[in-house]
Amino acid sequence: MPAGARKLTPEPGRSGRARIAPDQRQRLAPGLTIGADYRLERPLGRRGRVWLATDASGLQVALKSGPRAALAEEHAAVAALAHPNILAVKELIDVEAGCFSVAEYLPGGDLVSLAGLHARHWLRAVGALIDALEYLHGRGLVHRDLKPRNVMLDEGENARLIDFGSALPVGSAWSRGGTTVVPPARGSDPVTFGDDLFALASLLHELLHGVPAGHAPRRPVPAGSMELARLVDSWLATEVESGRPDLLQFRAVIKSMGMDQGISA
């Protein structure tokens, strides 16, 4: 496992804890126990698919529910990755209540809350995100659903890339799936790393200007962020992928901004 990568170690099960009965399948609620180990505390997010839970040792974890086949595929894909800026998963459990992927709990929120703030608030997280993308692309994978909501922070404000439900190997046949940010005029050509780079540019636009690309009004950016803003605009405005900046150029600009502000980016 690469240096800095985190792996969550399963704890022994608790005996005597009641499991969710079949008739409670659609009624997840605080206090219920999933399997033998995880006591539900409260839902995370708006859709109720992810819950905060406490395991046998008192460690807080996140439980994500979903259709068995899709969730198992996503869990296996993330479990095969080992990078400090990619969500660490613990185990997949399949009980009467449904199928759940157990992962680390990230209490620091997501990048949505930092949109429009000065770069010093999100620069380190973006540098970490670029690290995660380089690792992912090095393994031939394209995330395909990169957006501020899918970059979360732990208690130390260290970034994690989450939600790999739309990820595909580079060169795969394009599938709309759950992908949110799609390059304009995206046809049925095979999946490319450029799909993630367009989404990265869109994410940075939202952080820089406080609104998604194509929305108005855009907040002006300070002088120290102008080079990054120009790089983002060139990605979003250029139709030919070969003429767009690559991930190394994004890294170089983020690093120079961090040096200027005394931030490790």
Residues with active-site annotation: 145
- Report the 3 state secondary structure along 226-264: HHHHHHHHHHHHCCCHHHCCCHHHHHHHHHHHHHHHCCC
Task: Burial-class residue 257 by CB neighbours within 10 Å (0-12, 13-18, 19+).
Answer: buried
Phi, psi of 20 (to 5 degrees): -70, 130
Task: Please give the full DSSP string across 183-196, using - where no structure is assigned.
Answer: -TT--SPPP-HHHH
**Alpha helix (H) ranges present in the chain?**
68-79, 123-138, 193-209, 226-237, 247-261
